């Protein structure tokens, strides 16, 4: 759903000609009032529109099928059968429980059988799933599954290490804690030495 294109009735037209429906802005004003703020004061007057637009950006992944980035493969390297690893890719996401930021890095690897993709596409898959409301386990699994399904490799390994805003700025208030999740498929799951090799290449 894209509020910029749909549901324009009653929407406010601002300088950038970007439309955010009144009901969305009103919801943000309600939240601001609830936490003790005055949404009419100058500094907050435009905040509901900005906030709504920011959330469209945070959730841009719903507008795409991340796996589609893996459709174009390189025939000329079809015989390449060594590990391909994209290491420490920074990403941002938001947790579905508190809508708080998740920031971290992901390492994504696969052992090609026939299909090799442009390396940037692995990062595109990651961002496509990260720009949604997530839990880290599902993000990790979705990235691995997309690569497994589209490239049909001999193995895939995804390891994500991230910090959760809902644990730092609120709740248990424990900063500096990294959550590590992994999803291994194929040879990286079944074969001990392949698993040890990929985890060591990733720095684990
Ligand atoms: N497994 C997992 N848990 C997460 C993730 N992001 C946030 N959480 C946790 O989700 C849980 C939600 O717990 P609840 O008890 O329903 O919510 P809460 O009362 O706000 O919990 P606290 O955060 O402990 O204050 C918390 O323990 C969060 O730390 C994630 O990506 N994976
Ligand atoms: Zn959370």
Our count of domains for the chain comes to 2
Could you list the residue range(s) of the whole structural domain that residue 179 is in? 73-202
The answer on 79 and 51 residing in a single domain is no
The answer on 83 and 26 residing in a single domain is no
Rounded-to-integer distance, Cα 142 and Cα 123, Å: 13
The answer on 160 and 91 residing in a single domain is yes
Which whole number is the average pLDDT over 122-148?
98
The answer on 48 and 81 residing in a single domain is no
Which whole number is the average pLDDT over 68-79?
83
What spacing in Å lies between the alpha carbon of 173 and ligand 2's midpoint? 12
Q: What is the pLDDT of residue 81?
A: 83
In a domain, 1, yes or no: no
Q: What is the pLDDT of residue 11?
A: 46
The reply to whether 95 sits in an annotated binding site is: yes
Instruction: Categorize the per-residue pLDDT at 87 as very low, low, confident or very high, splitting at 50, 70 and 90.
Output: very high
List residues with catalytic annotation.
95-98, 136, 164, 166
In a domain, 38, yes or no: yes
- DSSP type of residue 3: T
In a domain, 4, yes or no: no
Residue nearest atom 31 of ligand 1, based on CA coordinates: 135
- Dump pLDDT digits (tens) for 188-198: 999 999 999 99
Q: Considering the entire predicted model, what is its pTM?
A: 0.91
What spacing in Å lies between the alpha carbon of 47 and ligand 2's midpoint? 23
The answer on 86 and 52 residing in a single domain is no
Please determine, for residue 16, whether its predicted confidence score (pLDDT) is greater than 90. no
Which whole number is the average pLDDT over 26-52?
98
In a domain, 22, yes or no: yes
The reply to whether 5 sits in an annotated binding site is: no
Ligand 1 pocket by Cβ (under 6 Å) = 95, 97, 135-137, 164, 166-167, 171-172
Q: What is the pLDDT of residue 18?
A: 67
In a domain, 5, yes or no: no
The answer on 142 and 48 residing in a single domain is no
The answer on 117 and 88 residing in a single domain is yes
In a domain, 143, yes or no: yes
With contact defined as beta carbons under 8 Å apart, do 19 and 11 qualify?
A: yes
In a domain, 181, yes or no: yes
What spacing in Å lies between the alpha carbon of 136 and ligand 2's midpoint? 10
The reply to whether 98 sits in an annotated binding site is: yes
Rounded-to-integer distance, Cα 58 and Cα 102, Å: 11
The answer on 44 and 16 residing in a single domain is yes
Tell how far CA 134 is from the center of its chain: 8
In a domain, 45, yes or no: yes
């Amino acid at each position: 759903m894209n509020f910029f294109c749909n549901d324009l009735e009653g929407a406010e037209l601002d300088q950038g000609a970007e439309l955010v429906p009144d009901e969305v802005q009103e919801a943000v004003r309600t939240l601001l009032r609830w936490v003790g703020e005055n949404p009419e004061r100058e500094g907050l007057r435009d905040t509901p529109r900005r906030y709504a637009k920011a959330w469209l950006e945070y959730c841009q992944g719903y507008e795409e099928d991340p796996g589609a980035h893996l459709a174009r493969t390189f025939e000329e390297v079809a015989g390449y059968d060594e590990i391909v690893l994209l290491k420490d890719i920074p990403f941002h996401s938001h947790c579905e429980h508190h809508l708080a930021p998740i920031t971290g890095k992901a390492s994504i690897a696969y052992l090609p059988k026939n299909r090799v993709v442009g390396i940037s596409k692995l990062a595109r898959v990651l961002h496509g799933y990260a720009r949604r409301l997530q839990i880290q386990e599902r993000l990790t699994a979705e990235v691995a599954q997309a690569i497994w399904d589209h490239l049909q490799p001999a193995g895939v390994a995804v390891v994500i290490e991230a910090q959760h805003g809902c644990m730092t700025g609120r709740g248990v208030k424990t900063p500096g804690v990294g959550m590590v999740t992994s999803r291994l498929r194929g040879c990286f799951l079944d074969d001990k030495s392949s698993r040890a090799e990929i985890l060591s290449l990733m720095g684990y």
